Structure 1
Amino acid sequence: MPESIQNEDPKFYILDTNILLHEPLAFLNFQEHNVVIPMVVLEELDHIKDRQKDVSRDARVAIRSLEEALHEATPEQIIDGVPLTRISGEHQAVGHLSIFPDFQLRQAESALALNENDHRIIQTALQLQKDKAPAKVVLVTKDINMRLKAKGAGVKCVEDYRTDQLIDDIRLLSKGFYQFEGNFWDSVGEVKTEQDGRDIYHFIARDLFPTVYPNEYLLDETDHFCARVESFTDSHVKILDLGRERLMGIRAWGISPKNIYQAMGMHALLDPSQDLIILTGPAGCGKTLLALATALEQVVEKGMYEKIIVTRNTPEIAESIGFLPGTEEEKMAPWLAAITDSLEVLHKHDEHMDASLEFTMKKANIQFKSLNFMRGRSIQNAVVILDEAQNLTASQLKTIITRCGAGTKIICSGNLAQIDSYYLTAVTSGLTFIVERFKNYYGSSTMNLNGVVRSSLAQYAEENL
């Protein structure tokens, strides 16, 4: 390595395979520090690249990117470190990239079996920790269990990959509404008011708001005030006066909101100017039911869209569903039972519920699709319901959202307390990522549906288990 780099005592970041699958160009995001790829990571990428799964594409991109960085280097240079400045494109990496020949490692005092790939990566970290002292060596992996094993084996620094993590505490996540203390109007001075048809707009001084986001709903502690931010300047905020009574009177496909949070969510879901609606909240707060009811209202009753496409992540992080029998819709049916359950709730009072369900499915053109087959599609004039979005990465959510063409509304719902993925936490979930990324976008709304309305039993379980 060059003497100048050594004098700066750079860190050494060892990347696990899941980092390159999560973001194939991740090795360019460590600025002046050095990136080390264990040989076993290349072996795993090689096994993954030919699979008929969505993740194989990311493996191939990672391999091609690494080849671009190393293709003119000698074997000695690859082991010692190749400057990342040789890679073209917009990045700020000025450190070095190297491949560590972990197959040369011998069984160490840590007693880790080197026939397991994870253990070879951990052993690489232990060896570099010894060889590069006193420089800091960091193992980066999204596998929570591997982070625990590495720390137990003696790796001093183990981290998650946080380049796409926008917040450090889930409590800082935007809820889509802000509640003022007391009576909102008591703190407001002179107000300019305009009326446009049935809509009434107020222009409020900006300094009354701690933070302002487009389409953010506003509440106070009274039973009357409710508004939504329409636009804002450096001096004033334009709000749409909604009123709680009017919001609570919203109906869609025969259902009405049970609390003000559901009312605000339904208002956003039924707004034709909103192309992306994000619903978060605990189990039983009504996310799926509201999404489906408002989608049916807009497709069947109002004719604003042509169809409803329902999708969600399937086990194995939204990979293969090929072993299940039947068509794509039949394969997806077990994972979309929440949707069919909600349909039954919406039609439970019909005289012939089965006939009503069949009619609604055909009339609304409801289609069940797998995430695995969404890449490359362009979805037009549809409502897309993406359920259980908390288990998706930012990359997977980007795949879905970028498929939406003209006249398409996408509804993402999820509960950040019910993440099933080995590699995600509440702060690294793709759902958290898009809430933060889209909070300043005028074509999207977020709503955290506070309160469990499913049953008193469900509410008690949510609060106490």
Structure 2
Amino acid sequence: MGQEDKKVYILDTNVLLHEPLAIYSFQEHDVIIPMTVLEELDHIKDRRKDVSRDARIAIRAIDDALRDATPEEIAEGVRLEKPGDESLSGHLSIYPDHALPEKSGFLPAVENDNRIINTALYLQNEKDPLMVVLVTKDINMRLKAKGAGMQHVEDYRTDQLISDVSLMSKGFRQLDHEFWAEVGECESFQEGRDTFHVIDEAILPDAFPNEYIIDTGEQFAARVVTKGDGKVTLHDLGRERILGRQAWGVQPKNVYQAMALDALLDPSLDLVVLTGPAGCGKTLLALAAALELVVEKGIYSKVIVTRNTPEIAESIGFLPGTEEEKMAPWLAAVTDTLEVLHRHDESPDGSMEYIMDKANIQFKSVNFMRGRSIQNALVLLDECQNLTASQLKTIITRCGEGTKIVCSGNLAQIDSNYLTPVTSGLTYIAERFKNFEGSAHVYLNGVVRSRLASFAEEQL
């Protein structure tokens, strides 16, 4: 690559909090970190919020890269080296943005964001004709930078696998014709009560393991088992059969819920991702399946319920009671669902206490999942749309032998300032695990909570 093709990337603080090792993500290009970013990381690293851990990791990564360098070398740029990554040949430098000269056109240096933007503007002029790019996950900062004259401003998209959320796999394929009209004859075989069909891969191009197949008819429903040698093997589920399945008294209201319940009740699947609008039944189905698998079938020994709570690390310690009691306000959706499942019992309160004990349901904070090894449990991770890919990786890698994890969320209800539907960790794992034979993803199409909720989802 010629010198004229090299780019210079200036990183905002939120990029390093989103991905602490982001300095290694720019291959042969140079990375500059303004001094203001280091100061912000320093202020964040001692907070009680979960983000402080990411700040400490980022600081250590920068220290490792610059440890043996002199001040002159740091100003000039130190070669980035990461074992096993031969494409990495860029340089890392720290820029003393506090020493920037006064210049017309710069933003008032009263805010840290403005100081970082001013650094980018200054370097854009200094390093011309090299392309200088400001990288930030803050949408408003990107707008301010462009308005101030920054030519190249980007979101950090290294962990983004799709360019638009409409391209995200739904986990199922809805054919616009009847399946057997397209297939004709094929090889079929039985294994116990289960029927399998082997069809030509051209009929289902780009099929992936555990993708569900439904058609315009009212009978056919199948799941992809294997793919290879130009053939796709399907497990014939039967639309009527999966719609008739139950878990803890809950029966699917549509074929999308039926596919989700099939994945939830299958112990061979270690990861199930459920997405869809509010009111489509994600939490209800996950909890009903959990009770069925733990209490009725005894496949798992406990249910661990957790969810992302952005403010929980700061405020949980000031709430009274045990960890479960502290978590109660954030897990009300789960306890509400338990009430729904037992509302017709003679003594609903007694039933809930009995089930909580029988199923060994534990409410845990995401913060306290780090460092654990979870064995023989069913983990329900709710509100995943607000987690980053690295946060979800931390939780999923806690799962040991005999553990199944269910990640659910609504990509239309992201509360994070720095996440969008395409950069959410929920989108990332749904796409990254698409070809893993131990996972399934189902988008629950349609709201079944109430006609009011359905109208609101469509019209508001």
> How would you bin the TM-score normalised by the shorter chain?
over 0.9
Q: For the residues of structure 2 that align with 1:77 and 1:296, how far apart are their CA atoms?
A: 60
Q: 1:78 aligns with which of 71, 74, 77?
A: 74
Q: For the residues of structure 2 that align with 1:74 and 1:381, how far apart are their CA atoms?
A: 51
Q: For the residues of structure 1 that align with 2:97 and 2:400, how far apart are their CA atoms?
A: 47
Q: Which runs of 5+ in 1 are unaligned?
A: none
Q: Is contact 2:222-2:236 (8 Å) kept? A: yes
Q: For the residues of structure 2 that align with 1:389 and 1:280, how far apart are their CA atoms?
A: 9
Q: Is contact 1:314-1:321 (8 Å) kept? A: no
* Alignment map for 1:7-406 (pairs within 5 Å): 7-85=3-81, 88-90=83-85, 92-110=87-105, 112-316=107-311, 321-406=316-401
Pairwise CA distance, 1:370: 0.4
Higher mean alpha-carbon deviation, 252-261 vs 325-334, is at 325-334
Q: Is contact 1:379-1:405 (8 Å) kept? A: yes
Query: Which residue identity is paired with 2:7?
Result: K
Q: Is contact 1:218-1:226 (8 Å) kept? A: yes
Pairwise CA distance, 1:109: 3.4
When residues 206 and 249 of structure 1 are mapped into structure 2, their CA distance, relative to the original with a 3 A threshold, is same
Q: Is contact 1:317-1:392 (8 Å) kept? A: no
Q: For the residues of structure 2 that align with 1:295 and 1:88, how far apart are their CA atoms?
A: 42
Pairwise CA distance, 1:299: 0.8
Task: Encode CA deviations 1:48-91: one digit per residue, 9 max, x unaligned.
Answer: 22334433332222222222222232222211222224x54535
Aligned to 2:454: 459
Q: For the residues of structure 1 that align with 2:243 and 2:451, how far apart are their CA atoms?
A: 21
Q: For the residues of structure 1 that align with 2:435 and 2:313, how far apart are their CA atoms?
A: 29
Query: Which residue identity is paired with 2:346?
Result: E
**3-state DSSP of counterpart to 1:321:** helix
Q: For the residues of structure 2 that align with 1:319 and 1:214, how far apart are their CA atoms?
A: 41
Query: Which residue identity is paired with 1:437?
Result: R
**3-state DSSP of counterpart to 1:322:** helix
Pairwise CA distance, 1:142: 1.3
Query: Which residue identity is paired with 1:65?
Result: A
Query: Which consecutive aligned stretches of 4+ in structure 1 deviate over 4 angstroms post-superposition?
Result: 317-320
Q: For the residues of structure 2 that align with 1:315 and 1:68, how far apart are their CA atoms?
A: 29
Q: For the residues of structure 1 that align with 2:79 and 2:456, how far apart are their CA atoms?
A: 54
Query: Which residue identity is paired with 1:48?
Result: I
Aligned length: 460
Pairwise CA distance, 1:211: 1.3
Pairwise CA distance, 1:272: 1.1
Aligned to 2:405: 410
Higher mean alpha-carbon deviation, 117-126 vs 287-296, is at 117-126
Pairwise CA distance, 1:317: 8.2
Q: For the residues of structure 2 that align with 1:57 and 1:366, how far apart are their CA atoms?
A: 28
**3-state DSSP of counterpart to 2:123:** helix
Task: Encode CA deviations 1:139-183: one digit per residue, 9 max, x unaligned.
Answer: 111122222222222222111111110010111111111112211
Q: For the residues of structure 1 that align with 2:84 and 2:64, how far apart are their CA atoms?
A: 12
Aligned to 1:426: 421
Q: Which runs of 5+ in 2 are unaligned?
A: none
When residues 314 and 108 of structure 1 are mapped into structure 2, their CA distance, relative to the original with a 3 A threshold, is farther
When residues 13 and 362 of structure 1 are mapped into structure 2, their CA distance, relative to the original with a 3 A threshold, is same
Q: Is contact 2:49-2:313 (8 Å) kept? A: no
Q: Is contact 2:294-2:301 (8 Å) kept? A: yes
Q: Is contact 1:224-1:243 (8 Å) kept? A: yes
Q: Is contact 1:107-1:114 (8 Å) kept? A: no
Q: Is contact 2:49-2:311 (8 Å) kept? A: no
Pairwise CA distance, 1:415: 0.5
Q: Is contact 1:182-1:220 (8 Å) kept? A: yes
Query: Which residue identity is paired with 1:336?
Result: L
When residues 91 and 362 of structure 1 are mapped into structure 2, their CA distance, relative to the original with a 3 A threshold, is farther
Q: For the residues of structure 2 that align with 1:111 and 1:79, how far apart are their CA atoms?
A: 22
Q: For the residues of structure 2 that align with 1:163 and 1:307, how far apart are their CA atoms?
A: 36
Q: Is contact 1:28-1:92 (8 Å) kept? A: no
Please give the TM-score of this superposition, normalised by the length of structure 1.
Answer: 0.95
Pairwise CA distance, 1:202: 0.9
Q: For the residues of structure 1 that align with 2:187 and 2:335, how far apart are their CA atoms?
A: 48
Q: Is contact 1:320-1:372 (8 Å) kept? A: no
**3-state DSSP of counterpart to 1:46:** helix
When residues 195 and 314 of structure 1 are mapped into structure 2, their CA distance, relative to the original with a 3 A threshold, is same
Higher mean alpha-carbon deviation, 146-155 vs 310-319, is at 310-319
> What is the Cα-based RMSD across aligned positions, in Å?
1.7
Higher mean alpha-carbon deviation, 386-395 vs 14-23, is at 14-23
Pairwise CA distance, 1:112: 3.0
Q: For the residues of structure 2 that align with 1:311 and 1:153, how far apart are their CA atoms?
A: 43
Q: Is contact 2:4-2:129 (8 Å) kept? A: no
When residues 325 and 115 of structure 1 are mapped into structure 2, their CA distance, relative to the original with a 3 A threshold, is farther
Query: Which residue identity is paired with 1:25?
Result: L
Please give the TM-score of this superposition, normalised by the length of structure 2.
Answer: 0.96
Query: Which residue identity is paired with 2:342?
Result: H
**3-state DSSP of counterpart to 1:90:** coil
Q: For the residues of structure 2 that align with 1:94 and 1:317, how far apart are their CA atoms?
A: 40
Pairwise CA distance, 1:122: 1.0
Query: Which residue identity is paired with 1:219?
Result: I
Task: Encode CA deviations 1:190-212: one digit per residue, 9 max, x unaligned.
Answer: 21111111111111111111211
Q: For the residues of structure 2 that align with 1:176 and 1:88, how far apart are their CA atoms?
A: 36
Q: For the residues of structure 1 that align with 2:21 and 2:435, how far apart are their CA atoms?
A: 27
* Alignment map for 1:434-453 (pairs within 5 Å): 434-453=429-448
